[in-house]
């Protein structure tokens, strides 16, 4: 595994084992090398999204905050994270990374970020989390209000995400 630095403290692009031959592709995204950076894998979920779907931008606060490790299994996604850590110089800034299915690349998003996924095409992702989902500790940002991602052609957004507060409201409250 290789951990590549980004402009955001603790947010890393991860290159993991990936082998393709005439049988297909074999990947090994989660190994013990990830634990010092990410923590233990407590919860794992898979999601499929149709082209044009944006899921998020969600976060959990207090003791239920989550670090996430996102891997695209099929399709093409844009992984989007907003730094909500007031003490960091990257506070309020947007991180974006395109991930391709079974590419051998993923993103570790540390606690303190709002996170979302945009599907450029029908896609499947796996999301490893170091803490359990807690509905009572969840917050979010309406992705349509974030200036740095207006180029994404969002066709489908859940009612829940449409009704989230705007980027300006959430960032000014922190």
Please state the rounded mean pLDDT for residues 127-142. Answer: 94
DSSP letter at 156 equals B
Please state the rounded mean pLDDT for residues 138-163. Answer: 96
Q: Distance of CA 121 to CAs 4, 48, 79, 116, 150, Å?
A: 26, 10, 13, 15, 17
Q: What is the CA radius of gyration of the chain?
A: 16
Cis bond before residue 70 (omega within 30° of 0): no
Residue 135 main-chain phi, psi, to 5 deg:
-55, -30
Percentage of the chain with pLDDT > 90?
93
Question: Given pLDDT bands bounded at 50, 70 and 90, which one contains residue 174?
Answer: low
CATH classification number, 2-173, choose in 2.60.120.10, 3.40.50.300, 3.60.150.10, 3.30.465.10: 2.60.120.10
Give tens-digit pLDDT for 45-94.
Answer: 999 999 999 999 999 988 899 999 999 999 999 999 999 999 999 999 99
């Amino acid at each position: 595994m290789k951990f590549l630095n980004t402009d955001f403290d603790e947010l890393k692009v991860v290159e993991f084992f990936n082998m393709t031959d005439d049988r297909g592709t074999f990947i090994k995204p989660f190994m013990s090398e990830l634990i010092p950076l990410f923590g233990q894998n407590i919860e794992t979920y898979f999601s499929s999204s149709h082209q044009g779907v944006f899921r998020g931008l969600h976060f959990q606060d207090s003791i239920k905050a989550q670090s996430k490790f996102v891997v695209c299994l099929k399709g093409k996604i844009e992984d989007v994270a907003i730094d909500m850590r007031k003490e960091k110089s990257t506070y309020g800034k947007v991180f974006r990374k395109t991930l391709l299915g079974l590419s051998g690349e993923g993103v570790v998003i540390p606690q303190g970020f709002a996170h979302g996924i945009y599907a450029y095409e029908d896609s499947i992702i796996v999301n490893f989390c170091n803490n359990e989902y807690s509905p009572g500790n969840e917050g979010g940002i309406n992705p349509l209000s974030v200036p740095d991602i207006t180029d994404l052609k969002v066709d489908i957004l859940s009612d829940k995400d449409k009704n989230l507060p705007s980027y300006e409201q959430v960032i000014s409250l922190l």
